[in-house]
A and B are shown apart, each in its own frame.
Chain A
Amino acid sequence: MPMQFDVEKVKDKLGIGADKVYAVMGEFEDPEDLLEAGRKIRQMGYTKIDAMSPFPVHGIDDALGIPYSKLGWIVVVFSMTGLGIALLLQWFAGAGPMNTLLLRFGLSGYPLMVGGKPFFDFSYSIPVDWELTVLFTAFAAFIGMWAINGLPRLYHPSMNYRNAHRASDDRFLLIVEADDPRFSPAKTSDDMRSVGARDVEVVEG
């Protein structure tokens, strides 16, 4: 029997649908105006605020209270993993045991005697250690950033705002999301207008 798939239920869970309110959005022409408005909106007590802009606006994080990115910590963990794997790999290839259970999986070391040098030494492993550390760092930064941002995704309710397409061009949008405790469509729209936003709209989810 095919699994029952209730589209409405899923939409409800994701907060998507014509009957759901996503946020109140408004636009600005200048990044400085956006900063000013963001600060004022935050002083009014709103907490679920976001902005959309064609380039990173300096100072927007402080204005909207966006916390510091923790990406660096994630990346450091993966960098060290890369370093560990590089060391383990080179130790195993050069000085790893030849006859163990690992042999069943096709894994055994291949010690090479070259001029009486030790089978494994830290000094010769440095270039590969470094390269694998960099490789893991890059992948962690790349994949980690998209994961934290919840991307890629095909749909986002902010696309329903009439000027959403201009946020990647020349407009700066301010958003107060509907799950903000102080949110009310009419009052929040008025607040947005009072801080200078234009084309203020209640955007559906």
Chain B
Amino acid sequence: MSVVVEQNPALMETNPPLMPGEPSLHHLTDRISSIIERKVGDTPLKYWITLGTTASFTVLMVGCLTYLALTGIGVWGNNRPVGWAWDITNFVFWIGIGHAGTLISAILFLFRQKWRTSINRSAEAMTLFAVMCAGLFPLFHTGRPWRAYWLFPVPNTDHNVWQNFRSPLIWDVFAVSTYFTVSVLFWYTGLVPDLASLRDRAVTKVRQWAYGIFALGWRGSARHWRHYEAAYLILAGISTPLVLSVHSVVSFDFATSVIPGWHTTIFPPYFVAGAIFSGFACVMTLLLVARWTLNLQDLITMKVLENMNKIILVTGSIVGYSYCTEFFIAWYSGDVYERFTFLNRAFGPYWWAACSMYTCNVIIPQLYWFKKLRTNLWVMFIISITTNIGMWFERFVIIATSLTRDFLPSSWWSYHPTWVDMCTFAGTVGFFFTMFLLFARFLPMIAMSEVKGVRTYEKHAFAAAAAAGAEKVH
């Protein structure tokens, strides 16, 4: 850039630039592209070791699901009355994680939070992989995944049977499949200008073709940008209510039933806050690992991480508040079953699950009130992991403990997962990380065109502010 601007020190303090130093536009393109333009042989060994580990977990997942499909869902620990167990817990857990990606890319875009540009691409990719993991569980929970198309309203001459549209389960089918599709479109739309950059830089024929085809002939014409920005705004505008609706619909699966502990009106906002909470924590885990292994300190700055921790603090507090409300309403309702369920959660056979959920979700995030702690990399790494452990337990507590003991003591039973349950879940974690590692290696993890735009206008804004400040002095 030709303009070198003296930055206003007062402005720097209250609103520091997203990226330190004065990287030129070409430097930014080079910096981000170099991560993926490395020769295969030059990829660090730690990358291959990590990928090998996560890929073997993916193989484990495939093995478990094959075993399940060939045998039946009896290989899981699901029983009567715990018909929804680990699988639905995992479904809600993964869907929740996905929501942070949409929140970062859509809601923060509408609120013009410019710090999102260095993390939104990877958060959106994370959404896709998390929703893939989530979708597997209900798919295999049907027992006959090859009949899963029966979930969709396909006209069928053999049956003429239609879905019952009064059921929240069919709403869920629509919500999750729409969510995945819209997330793919949103992610790909954002990716196209960066694929064009990679195409234009390509030195091998394979790369030129691969990136060239998917860049769709994008050339950055001003007329194209105008429609592109309109489309991006529309996609962000609908993704925002979409993400809120998806987790609300997921919560309806529980809230519209009559089981004590499920039948509550607080569920939609409570589930959405929990989803954002766990999703931000998951983005944090991935970002810290990527930042460390790929040396992205200059792109993913401390300011970005601190902002994310503030959101984790806010949503964690909302989750804590919801827990209190649940307990209060259970007492205030005067309903004996409702009261029993909540006492059973805290003091029953699964007290340890409830205990880890309260500790990880309510108490630990409160450490983020201290600036020292929310800017410490080790602290945020540990909290990002404990948050996800806590949020997994939250779903387990809601689903399993409510089902083990409902109205009739004669139908009470306990629940134990089997090795297939555990290996399938571990396998989806491996699949999630495998997909993310492949993404980070072959596609631009940071939205180049957006970062360049933000950088340029930030510089011009500083120049204008400096000029205005100088005028005031005179």
Residues of chain B within 8 A of A146, CB atoms compared: 216
Within 8 A of B (CB), among A53-83: 53-58, 60-61, 64, 66, 68-69, 71-72, 75
Residues of A within 8 A of B165 (CB): 90, 93-94, 124-125, 128
Nearest CB in chain A: distance from B275 CB, A: 17
A127 and B235 contact, CB distance less than 8 A: no
Whether A165 and B227, one on each chain, are in contact in the complex, defined by CB atoms closer than 8 angstroms, is no
- Nearest CB of A to B307, in Å: 22
* Binary per-residue interface labels of chain B (215-259) against chain A in the complex, 1 for a CB within 8 Å, 0 otherwise: 011111111111111110011001001100100010010000000
Within 8 Å CB of A72, what residues of B?
230, 234
The yes or no answer to A109 lying at the interface (CB within 8 A) is yes
A166 to B29, CA, bound (A): 10
**Max chain B C-beta neighbours (<10 A), residue from A31, A103, A155:** A31
User: By the criterion CB–CB under 8 Å, are B224 and A141 in contact?
Assistant: no
Contact B219 A52 (CB under 8 A): yes
Select A169's contact among B1, B26, B153, B175, beta carbons within 8 Å. B26
Inter-chain contacts of A135 with B (CB < 8 A):
178, 181-182
Q: Is the CB of A52 within 8 A of B221?
A: yes
User: Is chain B's binding surface mostly helix, strand, loop or mixed?
Assistant: helix
Of all chain A residues, the one with the shortest Cβ separation from B30 is A169
Task: Tell yes or no: A30 within 8 A of B by CB.
Answer: yes
Q: Distance (Å) between the CB of B244 and the closest chain A CB?
A: 11
B460 on the A face (CB < 8 A): yes
Contacts of A71 in B (CB 8 A): 227, 230-231, 234
Query: Given known contacts A30-B1, A127-B174, A145-B230, is B217 in contact with A109 (CB within 8 Å)?
Result: no
A50-B222 contact, Cβ under 8 Å, with A117-B166, A141-B231, A168-B196: yes
Are the C-beta atoms of A142 and B164 separated by less than 8 Å?
no
Nearest Cβ distance between residue B360 and chain A, in whole angstroms?
Answer: 31
Q: A114-B164, A134-B178 are in contact. Are A139 and B185 (CB under 8 A)?
A: yes
Are the C-beta atoms of A107 and B178 separated by less than 8 Å?
no
Q: Is A21 an interface residue (CB 8 A)?
A: no
Complex-state Cα separation, A125 to B449, whole angstroms? 40
Q: Is the interface of A mostly helix, strand, loop or mixed?
A: helix
In the assembled complex, 28 residue pairs joining A and B whose CB atoms fall closer than 8 Å, in A order, are: A51-B221, A53-B220, A54-B25, A56-B229, A56-B453, A92-B162, A94-B165, A106-B155, A107-B160, A114-B164, A117-B166, A127-B245, A128-B165, A131-B175, A137-B234, A138-B235, A139-B185, A141-B230, A145-B231, A151-B224, A152-B216, A152-B217, A153-B216, A153-B217, A154-B217, A168-B196, A170-B25, A170-B26
- Residues of chain B whose beta carbon lies under 8 Å from any beta carbon of chain A: 1-3, 24-26, 29, 153, 155-157, 160-166, 168, 170-171, 174-175, 178, 181-182, 185-186, 188-189, 193, 196-197, 199-201, 216-231, 234-235, 238, 241-242, 245, 249, 252, 448-450, 452-453, 456-457, 460
